[in-house]
Amino acid sequence: MFGVCLCVNVPLLFWLYVCESNVRDCVDADDDTEVDDSPIEQVRLTVSTTDDPTQPALTFRTWVIGLACCIVLAFVNQFFGYRTNPLTITAVSAQIVSLPIGKLMAATLPTTIYKVPFTKWSFTLNPGPFNLKEHALITIFASAGAGGVYAIYIVNVVKAFYHRSINPIAAFLLAITTQVNNFVLLNGKHLHFFSIFITNQKKL
C-alpha cells in the first residue's frame, strides 16, 4: 500500500516540477488579459488570482510532511476499512495538522545551503516561510494516501471468498497498473488514439 502511494506520487510531483519550471520561464504579465475571478465575494477576498513563481513548492518540508501524511492515512484507512463500521480519515485532517507542523519546521530548520558534489545542484532544508504551494502539495500527498487503492478489493475477494493465496508481487503489480492507468491516458498520443477509435466506432 505504501509503495503504491509512493509510486503514484513521485511521477505526479515530477510533472508538477516540470510545470512549475515552465511557468517560471514563461511568466508574462499581460494587463489586457481578462481576470478569471470567482463570483463569490468570500472567495475573492481570500483567494488570490495571481501566482508568485518565486515561491518554492517541492521543498524538504513538502516531501517529509507529505510522505508522512500519505503513509499514515493509507495505513489507517486501510487498517480500519475492514471494520463493520469503517473509520475514514480524509485529507482535510492532514491539511489542518500539516499547517502548524510546516510553520514549526520553517521556524526551526537551518537555512544552510547544501551543495551536491560534482554537480551544480544545491538545496536547503529551510528555503523560507511555509507557503501556500507547499501546503497544497502536502494536501495532494494526503489525498493520494487517503483515497486508497481499489485493486486491494480484488486481493481481498480472492483471499476471503475464494480462499486462495495471491503472490505479493502479482498483487503489487496489479495495484500499480490500476493506479498509474490514468497517467497513461493523460498522454496526448494515447488520447488521440482513443479519439480516433471512438470516432471510427461511431461511423460503423
pLDDT in tens, 43-91: 878 777 788 888 888 899 999 999 999 999 999 998 988 888 888 888 8
Which residue is it, cell 515561491? 55
Is the pLDDT reported for residue 16 higher than 70?
no
pLDDT of residue 67: 94
To 10 degrees, what angle do helices 60-80 and 2-25 make?
150
For residue 179, name the pLDDT band (cuts at 50, 70, 90). confident
pLDDT of residue 193: 53
pLDDT of residue 33: 52
To 10 degrees, what angle do helices 60-80 and 132-146 make?
20
Is the pLDDT reported for residue 198 higher than 70?
no
pLDDT of residue 150: 82
pLDDT of residue 32: 46
Asked if 116 contacts 41 with a C-beta cutoff of 8 angstroms, the reply is: no
